[in-house]
Amino acid sequence: MALLPGVVCIAVTLVLILALHPRRVTARYAIDPPAAPHDQTLLRVGMAVCLLVGPAFALGLPPWVVS
Contact indicator for 39, 33 with CB cutoff of 8 Å: no
Separation CA 22–CA 32 (nearest Å): 23
pLDDT for 15 equals 94
- How far apart CA 61 and CA 15 sit, in angstroms, is 48
Is the pLDDT score of 42 beyond 90? yes
pLDDT confidence of 7, banded at 50, 70, 90? very high
Q: Give the integer Cα–Cα distance in Å for 18 and 12.
A: 10
Q: Is pLDDT above 90 for 49?
A: yes
pLDDT at 36: 85
DSSP state of 62: -
- Does residue 45 register a pLDDT over 90? yes
Instruction: Give the count of domains, the chain.
Output: 1
**Domain limits for position 10:** 3-29+37-66
